[in-house]
Amino acid sequence: MKFKLDINKPLARSVAIFAALVAVIVGFAYFGGSTGELTKARVRFEGAELLDKSSYLKFARMETDSALRAGDLPTLRDRVRQHPYILSASVERAADGKIVVRVVEREPIAVAIVGGKPYLIMSDRALAPYYPEAKALNLPVAINTEYKEPPPGGFVADDLLHAYRVALAIKAVDATMYDRLSDVDLSGDESTTLRFVDMKPSAIIERTNVPENLLRLRETREGASAFRVDVNDYDYVDVRYRRHIFLGRENRETSL
């Protein structure tokens, strides 16, 4: 025996209208892709620090519910992997039905200004665009690079490679000195100028022998008081020479 709803009857008509309204509301919540709220609830990102999951889903073109349903898990994984901040990514469906995206992000160690735009220099030498929605980063800035646009291949080269090595070396030699490094000025042909937020004079180092220069710079920062010298009375510190460290002003120089 089949049940047939007679919409000519008042009660049946009311039930039909109510059911239709419920269907519209449920359908909008499930199929509407403008806000992507359902997508956010269905997807969980693990390991994402530089950007939130909304930004990664937008990059993967799966920020809407309809797009996520149309795609599959391997597609989501492959698209997330293409993001310049991502080193690796895996996707699986958890027992609770949620989609879990596990990512390993690249580690930024410096910012480079190339063609007037900021890029992140990553610890694996990758050069990635800086996204405004990225979390706040306290990083040294490489300025006055010879490049007017990013080098081909997506990795640092030439003077940007030098800036990468300087940032990595300072971080290894003295983490506190790295945290206080403001910028890496690449305008010199054979030298590089470093500026720090806690030290008035700039520091001049060689393009070669960077670790050795940085060790002398650290000793100068820590030991100048033993010579009764306040480095902040000077305009620059030159640590390029093995036997002497020069503290200079515009018109004269002092040797330690």
Binned at pLDDT 50, 70 and 90, residue 209 comes out as confident
pLDDT digits (tens, 9 = 90+) for 42-85: 888 999 999 998 999 999 998 777 766 666 888 899 999 999 99
218-243: average pLDDT: 77
The CATH 3.40.50 portion of the chain extends over 108-255
| Contact between 167 and 109 (Cβ < 8 Å) | yes
Judged against a pLDDT cut of 50, whether residue 157 lies above it is answered with yes
Class of domain 108-255: alpha beta
pTM across the whole model: 0.76
The CATH 3.10.20.310 portion of the chain extends over 40-105
Binned at pLDDT 50, 70 and 90, residue 234 comes out as confident
According to the model, what pLDDT value does residue 248 have?
82
CATH 3.10.20.310, domain 40-105, yes or no: yes
